[in-house]
Amino acid sequence: MAARKAQAPPAAPSTDLSTILAGERVYLNHKVFDDEVAHIIVHEYILKLGAETVEARRDATINLLNPSHPSYQAELHHNALLASDYPEVQQPLHLPYHWLTLCLHLGKRVAHEDLDPAEPFFVFPGSRQPLRAWVSLNVIKRHDEGSPEVAHANTVLLMVRGGALMVKRRAQADVLIIDPGTKFYQVVKAEKIKHKRDHQRLAERDWVEDCSKNQLVAWKSEREIEEAPSDAESFASEDAKPTKRGPGRPAGRPRAEFAPAEDDFLCRYLAAFQPDGSWGSRATYERMVERSSLFPVASTHPSQSWHGRFKNNSGSFTKRVLNYIQAGIDESLKTKVERKASKSSREAKEEHIPPRASTSAGPERTSASKSPTKKRTGETSAPQIKRNLVEPDGEEESIAPERSAGHGTQAPGSVDQLDVEMANGEANVNDAEPMLDDPEPIVPPKSQSGQQLHGDSIMVDQSLEHVPSDDPMGQVDEHQPSQQLDESLAEDRQMVGAETQVLLDEFAHVNAAVAAKEAARAPAQAIANSRLQQLQADRYSADRIPSLPQSPRRTASPAPSTKRARPSEPRASSERRGEMPAPPWPARAPRISHGSDGSGSRRRHRGREHGGGGR
């Protein structure tokens, strides 16, 4: 963290660098440095600082060491023996090579006790050689860095303190530090591919800060750099070992989902503290979590989760961040309009001005909610609408006077009202049920359709009348009483309409014509069927008769030949088939019997016919 807090630009180096190490003699062991690295150290650092190089250790005042080389510990042990065995001989200072690079970068002589870290870590893991780096001006700027030059200087300082050798040409560098979100990144990448510099690596400022924090170089592929780094990336220098997950138990605390308010805070924070970009950097979200004392919502998720949240929703979140930047958001995470509104509300509270009530919610609405609303003319209440659906028209007017005659608001005919009227002797005679010896016949309910008759004989309503299925013509007399319907239907069943009789006569005539045609066609069909049956019988008997060998007296024996003659029976059968008409169905394959009687297979008879002797 000490390397990250050094955000201020370093002091300007002295104009005359040749006086910093004037009079010093530097010994460089070429066995621990490559030729290219040794050439850069000699010409870009030692000579520029005013020192000179020597070929022997005893002639040097400064001995440059490579702490990453395997011989470093042996070199320290040898120097300690020389100092103890020859105390009278002045020994040179044994310093790591990155002390020299730091003196050149700061423009002054740095005490070797002030080296932090004491050993360089920007080295190749395999070759143990210093890392040659080139830093572009197109690096990610932090919130407190005003210009790209300041961001460039801070990045270079981190790499120099870690032991990297800074070069001026991209062709000499082993790693190129550049922002992957710029167009110049694509130019550098195309140049690397064109000149076949496969050893070069492309990295960003976040990678430099991560290496400085962990003091270890962790290489990443170009795909990881371009697509944003992994949230779960771990470094080899971390002391904490990963714990194994038990069966059925998740490791760590349960994952908390992001709320809409947290997404809004994330966009506001990036717009306020990172308006120039670097939204894909993990360091941005680590600093955001560190500010949890100012913004408590930042502590609800770890920095990796905040970074992954923005990466997974970069399209929509980027638009929201740009909108907040355009709205003039500041470090209070409020836009200009929100700051103005909060200021006016604060002034209103100080002056004790009550908030102005809304015109839409006046006293009329409050009183109207408590008092019953006046019923409009022509409106019908919901209970009345339901009652009209089940009651016939004209009954409401007859019931209304009876309701109005009741005492108070009590419904007429209720139990309490009848008790009071009977006690006062005012009960209506019509309310009591009369005692009749001969009850009147039950009158069916009223219907809205059909003519209603009153008397001893009650006519069934036409809308409720059911026409029996035995009356196909529907000729029931409408004015005939219901008691005489069965007699009239019995007489009408024996009558058939004239139109129906005509249809039946036509159908019988057509059936007679069809039957006559079939009777005339029957003799010809019988003759054809008999002939067809005879043909089938002849063919079956021909297939069953085996071929007999020809007599030697009737047919001369053929000349001896190695070629086997074709049998004569199939040809005779084919000639016989040619004389008869071909049947309409496909020919059936002949049956071959494998019995031991006289009806053996054809193949056996063919062999006997030609002297083969069978099988």
| pLDDT over 90, % of the chain | 11
- How many domains, the chain? 2
Q: Average pLDDT of 4-29?
A: 69
Q: In this predicted model, which residue has the larger pLDDT, 59 or 381?
A: 59
On whether both 294 and 187 belong to a single domain, the answer is: no
* Residue 522 counted as domain residue: no
Question: How confident is the model at residue 318, as a pLDDT?
Answer: 86
pLDDT of residue 472: 46
Mean pLDDT of 25-34: 89
Let me know: does 25 contact 52? Beta carbons within 8 Å. Answer: yes
Q: Mean of the per-residue pLDDT values for the chain?
A: 70
∠ CA 173-174-175, nearest 5°, is: 95
Domain identity same for 62 and 132: yes
Q: What is the pLDDT of residue 435?
A: 45
Question: Residue 434: its pLDDT value, please?
Answer: 43
Question: pLDDT-derived band of residue 440, with 50, 70 and 90 as boundaries?
Answer: low
Rounded Cα–Cα distance for residues 91 and 62 (Å): 9
Residue 196 has pLDDT above 70, yes or no: yes
Element (H, E) at 123: none
pLDDT of res. 258: 85
Boundary residue ending a domain (226, 241, 271): 226
Q: Mean pLDDT across the stretch 510-533?
A: 82
What does the pLDDT average to over 50-65? 90
Q: What is the pLDDT of residues 338-351, one digit of tens each?
A: 888 888 888 887 77
Q: Which among 285, 288, 286, 272 has a CA at the least distance from the CA of 322? A: 272
pLDDT greater at residue 559 or residue 452: 559
- Domain assignment present for residue 419? The answer is no
Range of the domain at 94: 2-226
pLDDT value of residue 559: 55
Instruction: Inform me whether the pLDDT recorded for 441 exceeds 70.
Output: no
Which is higher by pLDDT, 609 or 223?
223
Domain co-membership, 186 together with 289: no
Is residue 137 in some structural domain?
A: yes
**Shared-domain flag, residues 79 and 159:** yes
Tell me: pLDDT of 451 over 50. no
For residue 242, whether the previous peptide bond is cis, meaning omega lies within 30 degrees of 0, is: no
| Same domain, yes or no: 57 and 191 | yes
Q: In this predicted structure, what is the pLDDT of residue 459?
A: 47
277/208 same-domain check: no
More confident residue, 423 or 49: 49
Lowest mean pLDDT among 158-167, 283-292, 596-605: 596-605
Q: What mean pLDDT do residues 93-109 have?
A: 90
What φ, ψ does residue 89 adopt, rounded to 5°?
-90, 130
Q: Quick one: tokens of 592? A: 């071959």
Kindly tell me if the per-residue pLDDT of 134 is higher than 90.
yes
Whether the pLDDT of residue 445 is over 60: the answer is no
| Span between the terminal Cα atoms of the chain, in Å | 105
The answer as to whether 50 is a domain residue is: yes
Predicted confidence (pLDDT) at residue 154 exceeds the cutoff of 60? yes
pLDDT top residue among 185 and 403 = 185
Last residue of a domain, one of 337, 365, 386: 337
Per DSSP, the three-state class of 568 is coil
Return the top range by mean pLDDT from 385-389, 526-530, 543-547.
Answer: 526-530
The Cα 465–Cα 477 span in angstroms is 12
**Structural domain contains residue 409:** no
Pairwise CA distance, residues 201 & 178, whole Å: 11
Question: Is a pLDDT exceeding 50 seen at residue 181?
Answer: yes
Write out the two tokens for 276. Answer: 């120039």
Q: Which of 374, 408, 381 is nearest to 396 (CA)?
A: 381
Among 53-57, 252-256, 575-579, the range scoring the smallest mean pLDDT is 575-579
Order of strands across the sheet that contains 52-54? 52-54, 25-28, 62-65, 93-96
Average confidence (pLDDT) over 270-284:
84
Q: What amino acid occupies position 528?
A: A
Q: Tell me the mean pLDDT in the region 122-126.
A: 80
Q: Could you tell me if residue 191 is inside a domain?
A: yes
Q: What percent of the chain has pLDDT above 70? A: 55
Asked whether residue 182 falls in the same domain as residue 288, the answer is no
* Residue 497 pLDDT > 50: yes
Mean pLDDT score, 77-94: 86
Rounded to whole angstroms, the Cα distance separating 482 from 460 reads 7
Report the pLDDT value the prediction gives residue 517, as an integer from 0 to 100.
83
The pLDDT of residue 430 is above 60: no
- With bands split at pLDDT 50, 70 and 90, how would you rate the model's confidence at 553? low
What pLDDT score does 365 carry? 43
Task: Quote the pLDDT of residue 428.
Answer: 44
Give the residue with greater pLDDT, 486 vs 67: 67
Sheet holding 175-177, edge to edge: 165-166, 132-135, 175-177, 201-203
The answer to whether residues 89 and 158 belong to one domain is yes
pLDDT greater at residue 48 or residue 444: 48
Asked if the structure places residue 321 within a domain, the reply is yes
**Cα–Cα distances in angstroms (integers) from residue 148 to residues 155, 182, 209, 211, 367, in the given order:** 11, 13, 17, 21, 68
Who has greater pLDDT, 474 or 535? Answer: 535
CA distances from 565 to 531, 590, 610, 612, 613 (A): 37, 22, 8, 12, 15
Q: Do 172 and 89 reside in the same domain of the chain?
A: yes
Q: Identify the residue whose tokens are 């990881």.
A: 224
Of 322, 309, 325, 328, residue with least CA distance to 262: 309
Instruction: Please report the pLDDT score of residue 416 as a whole number.
Output: 46
Q: Are residues 207 and 296 in the same domain?
A: no
- Tell me the CATH number at 25: 3.40.50.10190
- 71 Cα distance to chain centroid: 56
Is residue 17 assigned to a domain?
yes
Both 66 and 160 in a single domain?
yes
Confidence class of residue 142 from pLDDT cuts 50, 70 and 90? confident
Which contacts of 121-127 are long-range, i.e. CB under 8 A and separated by 24 or more positions?
121/162, 121/163, 121/211, 121/215, 121/216, 121/217, 122/159, 122/162, 122/163, 122/164, 122/211, 122/217, 123/68, 123/163, 123/217, 124/174, 124/217, 125/217, 127/34
- 155 plus 270 within the same structural domain: no
pLDDT higher than threshold 50 for residue 471: no
Between 111-115, 295-299, 321-325, 441-445, the lowest mean confidence (pLDDT) is in: 441-445
Q: Among residues 226, 244, 277, which one ends one of the domains?
A: 226
Query: Is a pLDDT exceeding 90 seen at residue 177?
Result: yes
Structure token digits, residue 37: 């690295």
Does 269 or 541 have the greater pLDDT score?
A: 269
CA distance 101 to 17: 12
**571-611 pLDDT tens trace:** 544 444 455 556 666 656 556 555 545 444 455 445 444 54
pLDDT band at residue 226 using 50, 70 and 90 as cut-offs: low
